[in-house]
Each structure stands twice: as structure tokens, then as C-alpha cells.
Amino acid sequence: MSAPTSHAKLLNWVDEIAQMVTPDAIQWCDGSQGEYDRMIQLALDAGLATPLDPVKRPNSYLFRSDPSDVARVENRTYIASTSPDNAGPTNNWIDPEVLKTTMRGLYKGCMAGRTLFVIPFSMGPVGSPIAKIGVEITDSPYVVANMHIMTRVGSGVLKVLGTDGEFVPCLHSVGKPLASGEADNGVWPCAPLDLKYISHFPEERMIWAYGSGYGGNALLGKKCLALRIASVQARDEGWLAEHMLILKLTSPQGKVRFVAAAFPSACGKTNLAMLVPTIAGWTVETVGDDIAWMKFGADGQLYAINPEAGFFGVAPGTSMKSNPNAMKAIERDTIFTNVALTSDGDVWWEGIGYDPPSGEVVDWKGKSWQRTEAAAHANSRFTARAKNCPAIAAEWQDPAGVPISAILFGGRRPGTIPLIHQARSWQHGVFLGSIVGSEVTAAALDVQAGTVRRDPFAMLPFCGYHMGDYFAHWLRIGETPGAKLPKIFCVNWFRKGADGKFLWPGYGENSRVLKWVFEQCEGTGQSIETPIGIMPAPGAIDAPVGLTNAAMAELLDVNRAGWLQELDDVRTKHYNKFGDKLPSALVAELDALQARLAA
């Protein structure tokens, strides 16, 4: 087909790649429903997709990936900056020219027997001053269909791009060429693990991925562009590209505040973004569940957009109790990957809140489920349109973004870290973000159980440059002339009592903590000064029914000995990784907090 653009750089790039990968055909994507339907039909014809019951789950499909291709491959993810010092100690670095030589060898002829799809996409509302444009080349109909849901695809993007606009080139292949007459025949196409590459070239604003057809390895607008490349763009252009949800909080009086929050995986980020409050008169609506891009407006406020158009959520544990809005969003028009299939043509996973119906259950590997292993893979996913979420905020597509009043950081910590505390200043808040971590469980074999795995700003796997420089960038943002900076808080829903049980009920009850955050932003909150920061005064947070005064006191206790141990861990096992790139301001915050606790 002829190209629907006269953008010379884009046309030359597509031609250059096509000559290298030698596809049977080239198709430019227009983002239409008909195109989406054709991609699904291609997957059905190849035996890679299973239609779900059209009454129970309209226009929804189940895919099963290869067992080697079920999650992000962090050890095969590279930041190929011009020098290893630019990548820093927390990223995998390879010399960019060496990596390109290796990957060009893999790409040569890799799309034989397949169609090369060109996907023009916008991260953020098309035409937004905060949005960025990418173009992904792929040989996977599964990727095209998912990109339809997760981004804004089509001719409108090319119109904004014009004849010379900036775009991020994203090259992807499943790495499984087909011989003449060969077909996938129900076998998920991908390359072996040691040939998978997820490569980022920050200075060139370019992404090359090979060998994986799954998730963040293949949907290159997601973690690759929206965080790893965008974090470098944000540093250079003076804004923030963050692994954060965005929610809209409305009081009974109709006053609105927008909150962004960063949590490492398995800490309830999507659940908080779609929370159903338990306090009368308050509402929570969703702007985004995973990524926030934030830029200063002319009024000095930090405005955020959700650069995505859908949710790529983890299925296990998602239920009507944990996240009713997500469950309603996936009732139709959804792609499921690596969940179980029930005898009545529906999906099922562990933690869905009910037993599967009688009859055979087919597990995520396509086998009859024997109940000795999980029916759904632990990282199984749903890809759902944000517009189908009943809690989606009216402002979620506002090209100007929404003004952020508060930023929350949090991790899964059974002790020491209280339910909530507020930073004393922006600099203190950056310090809190820089030491975020979660306690490692026995399931993580590479780290001793009970230790803390630090994930600063929940960005450890996603920052496209040296994290010491990233901390410095956050500090510089705080020095922006005329800035009306959000207040910064640290939360911990996972503190446990002496009996090993969670003290805080979580889920919708987290709205009680959000209410105090709201009040602090309004200047009406009841608070006290403590060595670790500003905390709720006694009675300032409305306790859930059944939570004792003693439990609430324990949740808000400042454990001085525990905090001193925490700071020692930060100093000796975390901050020392960053060498002379660790900002002195953060060391000063560490020293000051230690002194306050020891006083």
C-alpha cells in the first residue's frame, strides 16, 4: 500500500528497515475498528487467539504466549548510551555501535513470510503540548491490536506529525521468520531467551526490540518510550516522565484535587487509581493507572497527562473486592493474555474472587488444569480501553493535563514506615522518593527474605539514565522559578502487627488517607511535626470500622530505632551505589533526619 504521509525522514526510515528485515508486505496502520478486527482475525487464523463467549465477554479474546515470553526481561533490557556513566549502575549497558551490529545481524531477513506493520501512535491526547509521537514497526498483529488499545493510533497522528515533526522510531520483531508456505500454526512466535533484546538508544531517541512478542518488551510505547526514552527527554527539556498513577479526588463540597502516586510492583497502584471510597460523599476517578508525564503550566502548576489510552493490568488478584472498576472495564473489548479459560468460554485467574465453573479449565499453557500449579500465570494480563472504565475522569483526555496537588510514594513495608507522613519540603520529598523500597519475600530467590529491595521513585527498571542524575533532575524541578510545587507524601498500606497480620484494611479504606492528603493540600488538615516529617494529628484520619485506637496508634508510630536502622541501610547499601553523582542535598537530608531521630 502507498504511504499515507510525505514525512521524508519517516519514509526513509521505513524503507531502510524494510530492506533489512525483508517482509512479504508493508501495511501502514490507520487505527480504525476495521483494522483492529483484521488483526484479531489474523491471530485467530494463526491459532494464536481464542474468542471468548460473546455474551459473557463481548469482543474479547484470549492469547497464550510461550513460557519463555511471559514478562519484561530486565536482564535483556539495555540502555545503550554513548558512555556507561550515562547509563549508571542500575542499568544494563552495551556500547551502542556494538549492540547495533549484533541486532542488525538478527534483524536481517527476520520478517520473511510476515507483514511489516507501521504504527504511528501518540503518547497522550493527539496534539497535546505534553504528548509525544512514536512510530513502531512490528511484524506482530498481536502488537498492533494491543497498541490500538494502549495508544492513540492512526491518521490523526500523522497529521500532527506533518512533514518534518519529531518522532521516536521504534523497531520490533518477534524474531521468527517464516519459510515459504510456513505458518505459526498455534505456536506463539518468539526467539529464545538469549536472543531477546530490548534496547534503548537515549541520545538518538530510538528503540530496538527483538525476540519477544509480549507486553512491555513489544508494546514499545509503554515502558520503553513512555519511561526509558521519555525520562531522558524530560531531563533535557525540564519536565517529568514518571511511573505514576493519576487520580481525581473530589470532596463532598465539590472541591477537586489531582494526585499522582508511585509504587513498586505488587503495591496496589492500579487498585488505588480505581479506588471506590468508603467515606460518604467522596469520589475517586481515574486519570491514569501507570504513567504520568508532568510539565509546568504558565501558572506555575505542574500539569500531568496519562500518555496511555488503556490499561495493561495484572490479572491475578484483581477482583470485585480489590478493584471493581477494573473488573467492569474488562467486561468487554478486552485482550487477555496467559489467563485460564473456563468451560463456558470465560476467563479465570487466582484471586478473581470466585471458583471456576464446573467442567474443564484450560490453564495458561493450554493444558487441562490439574490444580497442582497456577491456572493463570502470575504476570498474566488484560489489555482494556480506558474509556470502558466506569471511574474514568472526564479530564483524562484533556490535552492541557490536570494540575497535580500531591505526589505519593510508597512501598510494601511490614514495619517502621508509618501509614502516612508528609515531606517537610520538596528536597525532603525527593529524599523520600529516593529511598522507596519493599521488603523481599521468600518468593524472591535472589535476595534474602526480610531485606529491603530499594526501588527509588518506583523507577529503578525504567529510568533511561544514571539515577544519581535523575535525583538531581528532581531537585532542579523544585528550583523552577514561580513553581507551585505539589506536596509530597509517603504511604505504607502494608504495616503489620505483632500477629503478622496487616494493621490497615486497605482497598477502599485508603480513601481515608487520601482525605487527609486532600486536607493538607487545602490547608485544613490536622497535623503534627515529627522527626520524620509532618504526620496526622491524633484523630485526623477517620478510622475504619473495627480498627482499634491501639492499631491506629501503631500505624502512625514513629519507630526511632527502626528508622535509624533504615537510614543505616540507605547509607551503606543504597546511596553508595551512586558514587559522586549522588546529590549532596540528599546526603544532607539523610544526615539531618538521622540527627533528629537521635536527638
The SS3 call for residue 578 is helix
One-letter amino acid at 120 equals P
Alpha-carbon distance of 200 to 53, in angstroms, equals: 40
The chain-wide mean pLDDT, for the chain, equals 96
pLDDT of 268: 87
Quick check: 448 pLDDT over 70? no
The pLDDT assigned to 450 comes to: 65
Residue 449 pLDDT grade (very low, low, confident, very high; cuts 50, 70, 90): low
Q: What is the CA radius of gyration of the chain?
A: 24
Q: Is 267 a catalytic residue?
A: yes
State the Cα–Cα distance between residues 59 and 130, nearest whole angstrom.
32
- What is the rounded CA–CA span in Å between residue 30 and residue 181? 28
Say what the pLDDT of residue 446 is: 46
pLDDT tens-place string over residues 341-372: 999 999 999 999 999 989 999 999 999 999 99
- The answer, yes or no, to whether residue 193 has pLDDT greater than 70, is yes
Which residue blocks in 321-360 are alpha helix, DSSP H? 324-329
Of 263, 209, 210, 201, the C-alpha closest to 233 is: 201
Q: Which residues contact 512 (CB under 8 A, 6 or more apart)?
A: 278, 279, 541, 542, 543, 544
* Percentage of the chain modeled with pLDDT above 70: 98
What confidence category does residue 439 fall into, taking pLDDT thresholds of 50, 70 and 90?
confident
Listed in sequence order, the DSSP H helices in 397-466 are 426-434
The model's pTM = 0.97
CA distance 224 to 221: 6
Domains detected in the chain: 8-48+73-238 (3.40.449.10), 242-309+394-598 (3.90.228.20)
Q: What is the pLDDT of residue 441?
A: 55
Does residue 121 register a pLDDT over 50? Answer: yes
Closest by Cα among 490, 434, 462, 411 to 234: 462
Q: How many Å apart are CA 162 and CA 508, to the nearest integer?
A: 45
Catalytic residue (one of 267, 389, 463, 490): 267
| pLDDT at res. 521 | 98
What is the reported pLDDT for 444? 41
